[in-house]
Structure formats: C-alpha cells, structure tokens
Amino acid sequence: MTGMEGKTKCEMRSWENVYLNSRRLSERIKKAGFQPDIIIGLARGGWVPARNLCDFLGVKDLVSLKMEHWGVTATPDGEAKVRFPIRMDLSGKKALIVDDCSDTGKSLVEAKRYVQTLKPELVKTATMQIFDTTPAEGIPDFWVEKIPWVWILYPWNVTEDLINLVSKVLGKRGKSHLEHIRKGLEEEFELTVGEDALREIMAESERRNRVMRIGDEERWVNVE
Amino acid sequence: MTGMEGKTKCEMRSWENVYLNSRRLSERIKKAGFQPDIIIGLARGGWVPARNLCDFLGVKDLVSLKMEHWGVTATPDGEAKVRFPIRMDLSGKKALIVDDCSDTGKSLVEAKRYVQTLKPELVKTATMQIFDTTPAEGIPDFWVEKIPWVWILYPWNVTEDLINLVSKVLGKRGKSHLEHIRKGLEEEFELTVGEDALREIMAESERRNRVMRIGDEERWVNVE
C-alpha cells in the first residue's frame, strides 16, 4: 500500500459501483469508435473491470499481465519487469489495457510499453478512476471518474486492504482491543467497519501470521 | 452457449451472490488446510471468483489460462488447446485452478492436465457451482452449490448471454417487436428483463451486427 503513511483517506466501493463504472467506461470507449480485439487486464486490480469490459464491448480474447515496478523486482535501469510474460503475437490487433485506477500511472505506462513490443496495430488504456494527482503521462485514454486522491478499497480487495490498515493501526497504537482497532480505522482512515466484520478480519490476519492474539482477550499485537 | 436448444431454464446471479459464494468457497479451501501459492483463473468465466479467492486466501500470484475444447480449435486427438499458454515453472508450488461452474467438467479436467505439465507440487480445482449432471471426473476439489442444471447468467456476462438468448428467440419467432422478445425470454428461458434493459441489449446487439432493426419500429430480425 503506497502513500499510506499517517492519516489516509480511504473509501470503499461496492460491486454495483464497479459495475456501473465499468459500464460507463465501455460507453466512452464505444463513443470514441474504439473496438478492441483483445483486452489485457492488469493483475490483480484490473481483472474485474477487464472482465466487465469484455461483456460490454463483446470481446472474447482476455489475457492477464502483471507488471512489477517496485523494490527489488525492478530491473537496475528502472524498467518494469513482467512477472508472467505473455508470449503472443498481437500484429494486426487492437489491444485495450485495463486497470482499476491510475495513481502514479507507472503500471499503465509500463504495461503499454511492454504490450507495444508484441507489435499490436494499436494499444489504448482504460481505468475507472484517475486522481487529481495522477501525472499527465499516467492518464489513460479512457477513464470515468477524476477524484481527489483517496485509497480506494475495491470489493475484491477489502480483506487484504483491511489487514494492511489494521496492521498500521496496531503499529501506531501497539496492542489494542477490537474496539480500539475499530476506532483507529475510523480516525486514521475514515473507515467504518462493523464489529463482526472486523472480528473476521482479525481472525484472517492471525491465520496469515500478521497479528498475534494476546491471551484469551480480544486484543492483538502486530507480529514483527 | 452449449445445451441451449429449445427451452432452457436460466438464472441470473447478482454480484453479492458471487461474492458470498466466493467467500464460502474460500472457507472450504481453508478448512481443508489447502493454501495455494498461485491461483489460475480460467478465462473468462473464472476471473471474478479467482480474484476474490486471492483476497480471501491471501494469494498474490494470479494468472490466467484459456482452454479451448470446442469445434475447430480442438486438436484432432480431442485434446485441449491452450489459447494463450502460460510458460512458467510451477515447481514447488501449490496451484489452485478456479472457474465459475463445472458443467461437463471438460475445462477443469483439461486445465488441470495442462497445469500438471508445469510441474507444480500440487494442483487443486475450485468452482462456485456444480450441477446434478456434472460427471464425477468434472467435480472440482472444492465447490459450494450443487444444483439442478440451469444456465447461470453471471453478472459479468449478462450482456453476452442476453444477446445470445435474444438471437434464439428471434431465430424461433422471426422478426419480433420488443414486447414479443421480452415475452419470448420469459417463456423460453424463464428470464424477466425490463423494457429499458432489453432496449439497451437490442442496441448493443445491433452494434455487434447480430440483429437488424426493421424500419423505424422497435422490431428486429436476426442477421443471417
């Protein structure tokens, strides 16, 4: 989770919201007269909008691409590394690269550079959201919402995001009771999470060895 | 759309239903003590449950696989052809293959056979639904619902499915008014589609050159 030090505004999106935005995205693509032959969904965030766009645009060919551009996995010259390369010839094909949102824009830019090596006729990019802070080169050809920067919790990533946010709360506050974690999520991330939902997140967080329960109480501490 | 000659019962599933079933599926996988290192989502139906399982199980590696086993694309010996091969080494890894449902089971069986050539430590399979008619070899290791055979319209495929069903109605009844198509969907497929929603489906069906509008009326005929 990048850009998540200190207070960070978070926002949950529903499945219906994602579906509606995928639909609006497809309408913009159609209006521009662009009909892709293949959709390339960036793993893992782009998979759901990519799948929806296949339906709305009538595209049968759907492939996945995973870019890596953080930390040790990047090549020394700063180029993106592709974790699971697609080895296919796209000549004569129009490709659409899809991600959930474009934050720094790095993923999109690097995915596009990679896809261009597969020699397609044309490559376009699309995301549901962009931010006020997204640099010009990171703005996709098609997008639906431009919003002030916020960490979007998409419905397919709520567990992972909440586990990360809980870990930040515990990192700051030390060992905490369920109710204090709940308050921490509200105060630091503007997220309201129900008690039972949080209990399930804590159980999964324990299973992943991210937190440790203290005694028999509903109190946890980060595993260092 | 296989198995869709004549009357066919259809059933629409909501995003919430898919999410709940993905969650229940993840619980069965956890209960069995299986923790995959990589999830392989079958394109295109398996993408959404595969993405959800990544979240519920804490799996970062997600790849796509597309099997082809119908018509001219199958190899002469009846073996599955992989449309976009994954060229990766899975040695020492536990893989989970995910699809939406298992009908004849062919996709799962063939995907598993293919994935085994990548030498993983273990391969398991999972779908949300199986049917009373699914043959024993097509039953995945993990599943949530066993139901009488029905064509499930998943939310990410509603447009494509409805376009196909409308085409079947028009094929049977010839040129038809919106209201007759609506009735046809109800009588032949037990599907209730709102007037405005159907109007949008007809517009998209026209755009895809599947149907032709007759004059200025709300009447269409199949493009042969």
Query: How does pLDDT run across B180-196, given as a tens digit for each residue?
Result: 999 999 999 999 999 99
Place of tokens 């974690």: A181
Under the banding of pLDDT at 50, 70 and 90, the label for residue B65 is very high
Tell me which residue of A12, A9, A1, A6 sits closest to A132, measured CA to CA: A9
Per-residue confidence in pLDDT tens, chain A, 224 aa: 544 455 689 999 999 999 999 999 999 999 999 999 999 999 999 999 999 999 999 999 999 999 876 544 444 444 557 777 777 889 999 999 999 999 999 999 999 999 999 999 999 999 999 999 999 999 999 999 999 999 999 999 999 999 999 999 999 999 999 999 999 999 999 999 999 999 999 999 999 999 999 988 899 999 98
**Interchain proximity A30–B83, CB inside 8 Å:** no
Q: For A159, which of B30, B56, B160 is closest by C-beta distance?
A: B56
Place of tokens 């040695």: B91
Rama region for B54: left / alpha / beta (φ>0; ψ in -120 to 50; rest): alpha
Query: How does pLDDT run across A44-77, given as a tens digit for each residue?
Result: 999 999 999 999 999 999 999 998 765 444 444 4
* Rounded CA separation B55/A9 (Å): 21
Residue B78: what pLDDT?
A: 46
Tokens representing A103 are: 């934050």
Tokens representing B96 are: 């989970």
Residue among B55, B57, B100, B157 with most chain A CBs within 10 A, to mutate: B55
The SS3 call for residue B182 is helix
Which residues of chain B lie closer than 8 angstroms to A15, CB-CB?
15-16, 19, 155
**CA–CA min distance A209, chain B (Å):** 11
Buried b (16+ CB within 10 A) or exposed e, A167-186: bbbbeeeeebeeebbbebbe
- The enclosing H or E element of A146 equals strand A145-147
pLDDT above 80 for B83: no
Residue among B44, B165, B200 with most chain A CBs within 10 A, to mutate: B44
Reported residue count of chain B is 224
Tell me which residue of A158, A154, A172, A159 sits closest to A222, measured CA to CA: A172
Residue B80: what pLDDT?
A: 58
> Under a CB-based contact definition with an 8 Å cutoff, are residues A86 and A116 in contact?
no
> Under a CB-based contact definition with an 8 Å cutoff, are residues B135 and B109 in contact?
no
Tell me which residue of A145, A147, A81 sits closest to A114, measured CA to CA: A81
* Rounded CA separation B219/A118 (Å): 43
* Rounded CA separation A103/A76 (Å): 23
Higher pLDDT, B88 or B75: B88
